[in-house]
Amino acid sequence: MSERDVPGGGAAARPGPTSRVRVRQLSGLSARDRRDDLATEEPLEIRLTGPGGAGRTVAITMRTPGHDFELAAGFLHGEGLVRAGDIAAIGYCADADPPPESRYNVVTVRLHVPVPDLPALDRHFLTSSACGVCGSASLDALRERCAPVPRGLLTLSPGLLYGLPPALRAAQGVFGKTGGLHAAGLFSPSGTLVAVREDVGRHNAVDKLAGWAALDGRLPLAEHVLMVSGRTSYEIMQKALAAGLPVVCAVSAPSSLAVELAREFGVTLVGFLRGERCNVYAGAERVSV
């Protein structure tokens, strides 16, 4: 499922994670013109097709180009629409519908099974880089498809937690150029960085990580730690639960619903993880002091 080529895509230009612009920089009373790198933000349409070829659009999200197949797989798995084993192939759109310049902004996920006939698909998930899924699944639906996280043997020291933010920041290559991207990092119980994904949207970064794990046969991530660069919202917790993650850490605050979910499902939730300080909002038994 390589993202290098578009079947039948011709010479369509592929957007990158950064875009270069000209800016006028002011300093005191002086000014100079220079080039600046920005985080690219473009729409991604996710389509589902079944064995018969008939398909439909299920989501449109604003994202930073890159790891688009993982984003599609992670989104579909996180919303409970598709299991990782249901995916036969993922590719950029080869139809004549979108113009060539938009072909890298349309991803088609082909399933081994028929496209699910769910009410959720009728409302067209519309997501943005700033907020989570509009009209997201209710708590009852989340309880139906996500079981509490097993206690397991995962125990983390405060020192290990304190090392996560700098390790994540050091791995943010695009952020270093633009200063405008969120990141989600997956860590081992020893604090080793396993994978990192960046995006203008916090939830997109988590979807890319979950999609990578799903396509690589690594789910559930029962012995891993998720570290995000922003705050922890309901959407982040929903995606973490779908991936089976027992620990979620963030540099900023969680929402009240995120804390409620963490406590109900047995997830260790850490917030305001900065320097050598943090708050453990749920699952403190996994942090050895």
Catalytic residues: 131
Q: Which helix (H) or strand (E) holds 178?
A: helix 173-178
- CA–CA separation, 10 and 93 (whole Å): 12
- CA–CA separation, 73 and 75 (whole Å): 6
Is omega for the bond preceding 246 within 30 degrees of 0, making it cis? no
Cβ atoms 114, 98 nearer than 8 A = no
Closest CA to 38 of 179, 171, 205, 202: 179
Annotated ligand binding at 273? The verdict is yes
Annotated ligand binding at 277? The verdict is yes
- CA–CA separation, 31 and 239 (whole Å): 45
265: three-class secondary structure by DSSP:
helix
Annotated ligand binding at 272? The verdict is yes
Annotated ligand binding at 274? The verdict is yes
Cβ atoms 184, 206 nearer than 8 A = yes
Cβ atoms 248, 240 nearer than 8 A = yes
- CA–CA separation, 37 and 174 (whole Å): 9
Sequence ranges of the binding site:
272-277
